[in-house]
Structure 1
């Protein structure tokens, strides 16, 4: 592969352990903003860093000479290709690793002179020493370069995390929001959010549910901080502008990490390992119902107050059980009886209107609501974190205990009380566990159940997995569909277009993914996770990867910057067993009054995708997880 020709202004560093060497500018000072490296400025930045809240970080208002950055912006937009990538934790448009620029052909490199200069300035010894003086961090690697160009268009976001992966030592982001001649407005979203921490129930540090500080992007602004385990929690707010805007608004940036010194470099020291998630809590185990036992008359009487009677018919139950045994998952539509479903359909949308998530006409404006939305003192819902694992709302405990259950349950008028009845009466009941045993041919043992509300522009869960044995996930989706008049018409007069939920435009889908390898963290923001498309029947479709040769040209004449630094996952071929290349096993879009049963094997990852600010309301569900046992079949 051709390397960049050596220039009189370049010096070649010694090779790292990977055998690669990268051109580094001998004197990057002329390209940096005036006075940046002056001793007085460095001392002031160090003071700002040491006294910053909620944790140590620093904001440099101007990093580069403006002409260089404008040229970089022009080269990026005219020459580089972006790939839309989406996982549980982010949605972003991204190039490949810019370290790969050194492996392009001379002809390709000639198209990106300013971008190459910017990269070489950032990883020069002079600039790395500057970072060390400001932060007090240890030695930084000159051979391990880790950076990419990212653009956040409408709907893009990055959820809470602390960047603690591998040998990362300093995180940074350089902003080039577009259009560059117009200041980025706070209400457009895209702010960098910093979270204070508190001690969790396990004694470990965890982020609070609401950010302490938000920093909107501005042209030529550079933010950096030392990666601090259990402390440097941050996120990027969803961008809510861009589509249909004539000025092409987007949050363009270059971001990456400076890594600790690598083997063979001065100051190298091995990195310590990091920790994982705590276990869920379950109540004490009780005697399980047997799958072979038919529902008793008392069971049927109790369940008929909640369930659609069709799902209590023995013949249908037997047929559905056979399907579940074969496929390990099952979707049951119109699950609740009509009386309860009708009250929830209208009542939950009214909750959104009451809490300011919908306007008086029952519509949303697409803006990000305040973090306290729907969780005021008068609300029955409370915020649940920590946000590096999940953020959503759960039902508060009632102030006073209800004397006795309302019967029939259809007499309940308040939608929150109906949801509470499902959470506290139906799902934990012996009758429902007996019904599950019949439907799944499993023994439901201990369980954990929770009603959840995911507010648009705020809430999600991140991918987690269990090392323990298989679990039975039981989820009742209660997300109201938008009124038909709000969905628009298709080409045919009677063809109503799919809502944003069904089309996957608003997020909120539930996803099951195959286990990752130990060295592959799902929060690694690389080109290994291209956008996945999902259809409406809960099955995930395959997708094409954006890998290929170094500097390969795509169909629009732009370069796909990729090369030896692509991740292993991206270089792999297709996968088997019905999963797509991203490892997706099952994807289910939000819906209303639908029960989903999934037998989840150990280490299978599971999450609910962030709900976009564009969504027409909250995503609601009741989520239950059962430990299960298997029935030993007797030999003839």
Structure 2
């Protein structure tokens, strides 16, 4: 939920990292002349503090077997309503929680701050610096109240959870069109303390609707506590606060913002309340996490030796454009690869071969594909070549052959012993994430982009993939982006990925006119001892 998230993922630089604290001049200056309650007078809807509400709400929130999917207790007089969504884990929402005029002033102050674009495999949104030291009137009043005894004690009473005093994370986010935060669990520890309650205060326009996106999606989990699919959603609503207890099964997402008006944005203030680590949440190391299924990483198989080297030129000519078969061209490609560790070969397949593959990879082909997960690692379709797809099946076999491996050697100077292969489709909402539990083996990434734009309703004249659509493969090392490879029709990309270089496919958003399709392979180099022996 709270969008200033820190997840155990290799590319997560932490949305607040690199942000300097506001200067004393900025902390002291307040240019917004709006009447605001003082720290002593700011408070929530007083009905929420009554025994009538807190007793009823706590009883429901702490009841693990809450029968109804939706619990609600309300007061019609001032629009107060406390809601609990029971599945997949108890998630609360309090409506009309703060004075409306206060939140309007808060939003004005936030709009005057410096905002930073946050973009990696997990998220894309805009965020302020940490608000802990911000001295603007409304911001300070909110921070002091949320961390004060009245509100912390209130959160303890309605959730039955012990909270620490003096620890509160607070930042503001703006989600613009296409922005999102993918599946994660907020399970982060700070010494003897751990995040206990995640909260989000919505500052969206009052007319925000479901079609505008940005809902808080809650994931169900399987028996191993890995996320499966979103089963409940909370729609952003002005002057409401959502919250839940964090943990290793509290997987959630901020769904993509899909507003039609680019000026419309999803505003919020988010953070966490901390509490002492207990026996059920004290450990966050990998030993406490069930192992991932072996299918998460593609299987590496030996290359098929059915063709002898003397037949290579004949075999290559069946599939590959003659532009890439000359020795002089291959030497030029090798020089480029040795200098840059990557090269992109456009119009790689013979035109008639590529046309047949595009035709075969239509909707009937993908109807039998499997959706790959778990959701905190990846989401895309993977299919096996069918006997009916004769060209695709034979091309896939060729790509797994020692003959094709020898072509790659001519282009890269590297020798190869085995390879993995996947036929993938990324539709709207699909992605891959970098995660410490699923680090790919180093090798040569060989990816044929097979775009089927015409069947997806795309304009066939569209030639360049736009960065804002997502769907590109990003290569990073030490949080720095090294390379970005966008989908392009009939293009083969070769990228040498050594240890420490990681990759992900960026979330494909609703602005993309078509899906991303590819045949993705990783070729593993021949061990140096084997190379020496052959020499």
Whether 2:377 is the aligned partner of 1:389: answer: yes
Q: Which residue of 2 is the match for residue 330 of structure 1?
A: 343
Deviation at 1:130, TM superposition (A): 1.9
Counterpart pick for 1:172 among 184, 199, 212: 199
- The C-alpha deviation readout for 1:438-497, integer Å capped at 9, x for no partner, is 3232232232211111112x10011246778632211111234679x9779xxxxxxx98
- Contact kept? 2:421, 2:522, Cα under 8 Å: yes
Q: Which residue of 2 is the match for residue 216 of structure 1?
A: 235
Deviation at 1:299, TM superposition (A): 3.1
Task: Write the mapping of 1:525-544 to structure 2, written as runs, cut at 5 A.
Answer: none
Q: Which residue of 2 is the match for residue 237 of structure 1?
A: 255
Q: Which residue of 1 is the match for residue 472 of structure 2?
A: 509
Counterpart pick for 1:205 among 203, 216, 225: 225
Counterparts of 1:57 and 1:138, CA distance in 2: 17
**Alpha carbons of structure 1 residues 226 and 624: separation in structure 2 relative to 1, 3 Å:** same
Relative contact order: is structure 1 or structure 2 higher (C-alpha 8 Å, sep ≥ 6)? Answer: 1
Q: Which residue of 2 is the match for residue 99 of structure 1?
A: 132
**Alpha carbons of structure 1 residues 227 and 269: separation in structure 2 relative to 1, 3 Å:** closer
- Contact kept? 1:282, 1:447, Cα under 8 Å: no
Whether 2:515 is the aligned partner of 1:615: answer: no
Deviation at 1:271, TM superposition (A): 4.7
Counterparts of 1:448 and 1:345, CA distance in 2: 21
Deviation at 1:48, TM superposition (A): 4.0
- Contact kept? 1:590, 1:619, Cα under 8 Å: yes
Q: Which residue of 1 is the match for residue 58 of structure 2?
A: 46
Counterparts of 1:314 and 1:2, CA distance in 2: 65
**Alpha carbons of structure 1 residues 46 and 428: separation in structure 2 relative to 1, 3 Å:** farther
- The C-alpha deviation readout for 1:390-431, integer Å capped at 9, x for no partner, is 101111575xx67xx94xx3xxxxxxxx3x5444x1322232
Deviation at 1:39, TM superposition (A): 2.1
Q: Which residue of 2 is the match for residue 455 of structure 1?
A: 427
- How many corresponding residue pairs? 467
Deviation at 1:317, TM superposition (A): 2.2
**Alpha carbons of structure 1 residues 129 and 453: separation in structure 2 relative to 1, 3 Å:** same
Q: Tell me the secondary structure at the aligned position of residue 324 of structure 1.
A: helix
Counterparts of 2:105 and 2:184, CA distance in 1: 32
- Contact kept? 1:390, 1:461, Cα under 8 Å: yes
Counterpart pick for 2:320 among 291, 307, 329: 307
Q: Tell me the secondary structure at the aligned position of residue 48 of structure 2.
A: coil
Deviation at 1:44, TM superposition (A): 2.9
Task: Write the mapping of 1:283-302 to structure 2, written as runs, cut at 5 A.
Answer: 283=299, 286=302, 296-302=309-315
Deviation at 1:46, TM superposition (A): 2.5
Whether 2:151 is the aligned partner of 1:151: answer: no
Deviation at 1:498, TM superposition (A): 6.5
TM-score (norm 2): 0.78
Q: Which residue of 2 is the match for residue 195 of structure 1?
A: 219
Q: Which residue of 2 is the match for residue 126 of structure 1?
A: 150
Counterpart pick for 1:66 among 100, 106, 115: 100
Deviation at 1:617, TM superposition (A): 0.8
Higher strand share: 2
Counterparts of 1:74 and 1:506, CA distance in 2: 30
Counterparts of 2:403 and 2:532, CA distance in 1: 24
Counterparts of 1:225 and 1:477, CA distance in 2: 41
Higher helix share: 2
Deviation at 1:253, TM superposition (A): 0.7
**Alpha carbons of structure 1 residues 323 and 89: separation in structure 2 relative to 1, 3 Å:** same
Deviation at 1:327, TM superposition (A): 2.2
Counterparts of 2:298 and 2:279, CA distance in 1: 44
**Alpha carbons of structure 1 residues 124 and 498: separation in structure 2 relative to 1, 3 Å:** farther
Deviation >6 Å, runs of 4+: 267-270, 465-469, 485-488
- The C-alpha deviation readout for 1:233-262, integer Å capped at 9, x for no partner, is 111111111545xxx422111111122359
Whether 2:368 is the aligned partner of 1:341: answer: no
Q: Which residue of 2 is the match for residue 136 of structure 1?
A: 160
Counterparts of 2:279 and 2:297, CA distance in 1: 41
- Ranges in structure 1 where 5+ consecutive residues have no aligned partner: 6-24, 102-108, 355-373, 410-417, 489-495, 516-581
Counterparts of 1:195 and 1:611, CA distance in 2: 19
Q: Which residue of 2 is the match for residue 257 of structure 1?
A: 272
Counterparts of 2:441 and 2:426, CA distance in 1: 28
Counterparts of 1:67 and 1:283, CA distance in 2: 58
- The C-alpha deviation readout for 1:156-177, integer Å capped at 9, x for no partner, is 1111111112332211111111
- Contact kept? 1:475, 1:597, Cα under 8 Å: yes
**Alpha carbons of structure 1 residues 318 and 57: separation in structure 2 relative to 1, 3 Å:** same
Counterpart pick for 2:118 among 81, 85, 89: 85
Counterparts of 2:301 and 2:121, CA distance in 1: 32
Whether 2:138 is the aligned partner of 1:114: answer: yes
Task: Write the mapping of 1:358-377 to structure 2, written as runs, cut at 5 A.
Answer: none
Counterparts of 2:452 and 2:407, CA distance in 1: 26
Q: What's the Cα RMSD here?
A: 3.5
- Ranges in structure 2 where 5+ consecutive residues have no aligned partner: 1-22, 29-37, 67-85
Counterparts of 2:322 and 2:58, CA distance in 1: 68
Deviation at 1:148, TM superposition (A): 1.0
Q: Tell me the secondary structure at the aligned position of residue 332 of structure 1.
A: strand
Counterparts of 1:508 and 1:623, CA distance in 2: 14
- Contact kept? 2:204, 2:266, Cα under 8 Å: yes
Deviation at 1:434, TM superposition (A): 2.5
Deviation at 1:76, TM superposition (A): 2.2
Whether 2:334 is the aligned partner of 1:321: answer: yes
Counterparts of 2:384 and 2:152, CA distance in 1: 50
